[in-house]
Each structure stands twice: as structure tokens, then as C-alpha cells.
A = this chain, B = another copy of it.
Amino acid sequence: MADRECPLSRTLDAVGEWWTLLLLHDCFDGFTRFDQFEANLGISSGMLTKRLKTLVDNGILERRQYSERPPRFEYVLTDTGRSLRPVIVALAAWGNAQLPRRERSMILVDARTGREVEPVVVDRRTGKPLDDPDAYVFAAGPAASEAFRTRYDALAAKRKAAR
């Protein structure tokens, strides 16, 4: 839907549907089987089938047979799937911190110490948090369309003028 160019759109197409992140959260906790997802989430079986399928199609989960007779399947995270975990963690942390009802029902902890962790997004090279909108800005990438490039050229010029 809409423009497939923006990386956000593509991300949303892959994991943006309502149940998908909840489902992945279950995967991150180590669950792999249809009935586990069904019980944990309270999702209907039809929807679950559909969501699992798009996740598999997008290379985020892998469907694997773990028993011959009877035939049994499980869904395991791929590397791509695992790489999504920190992002989902950041999303949940934002919900915990910013959305009303401050009591937190789920948190992230250090597995060894049990100490609570506060996720923050930083620049890998400098380690600096990305929360300053003036310090870090979006820009047209190598494969940007003309429209995208025009937009970001204009914004850059505007910022320059503001200084």
C-alpha cells in the first residue's frame, strides 16, 4: 500500500499488522508452536495461520518440521527475525514510559543480574543517543526517487537558512 519506497512502509508491510509484533514477542520468549501462540495470545486460529504465513514469507520466521510421524511443525526465528528484537524492545519501552497507566507489567532485565534495563537508541559509531532531532536528520539515500531527493534537498536548504 501507498509508496513502497520508504523503508518505513516496507517495515510496516512486513511486521506492521496488529498481531504480528505480539506474535514475535512470543517467539522472543522462546515459544515456537501453533498451540502455544494460540493460548498465549488468544488469537483465533485462522488469523494465526495467516500471520505466521506472512512472517514466513518475509523471511522472519522459518517453518520447520520437528516430527515425522505424526507430522509436527514449529516456527523459529531467522537471523532477520532475531535482529528485530531490539527494535521491538525499544517500542515496548516507549509504551512503558510514555503511555498512561505507568505501572509496568512487562520490563526488560539483565538475565544475569536481574537488573532492569533502559533501552535507548544510539549511533553505533559515536554512542550518542539519537533523541536530538536537530543533530540527526533524515536524508535521501542512494536509491531515492527524484521526489524524495527534492524533498530532502529542500529541507536541508531550509535548515541551512535557519542557521
A interface, CB within 8 angstroms of B: 1-3, 5-12, 14, 16, 18-19, 21-22, 25, 28-30, 40-43, 58, 80, 82-99, 101, 103-112, 114, 117-125, 127, 129-131, 133-145, 148, 151, 155, 158-159
Instruction: Among B28, B114, B121, point to the contact of A120 (Cβ < 8 A).
Output: B121
Q: B28 touching A92 by the CB < 8 A rule?
A: no
In the bound complex, residues from chain B placing their C-beta under 8 Å from that of A158 are: 30
Q: In the A-B complex, list the 4 residue pairs whose CB atoms are closest, starting with the nearest.
A: A103-B143, A11-B95, A104-B141, A86-B121
In the bound complex, residues from chain B placing their C-beta under 8 Å from that of A11 are: 91-92, 94-95, 99
Q: How far is the CA of A2 from the CA of B38 in the complex (A)?
A: 12
Main secondary structure of the interface of A (DSSP, over half): mixed
Known: A120-B86, A144-B106. A95 touches B136 (CB 8 A): no
Q: B21 touching A105 by the CB < 8 A rule?
A: no
Shortest Cβ gap from A162 to chain B (Å): 10
Closest to A43 in B: B2
Q: A119 touching B122 by the CB < 8 A rule?
A: yes
Known: A8-B91, A22-B9, A133-B85. A16 touches B16 (CB 8 A): yes
In the bound complex, residues from chain B placing their C-beta under 8 Å from that of A41 are: 2
Q: B6 touching A22 by the CB < 8 A rule?
A: yes
Shortest Cβ gap from A50 to chain B (Å): 16
Given A105-B144, A117-B136, 6 more pairs with CB closer than 8 A: A5-B106, A6-B105, A29-B137, A29-B155, A83-B98, A117-B123
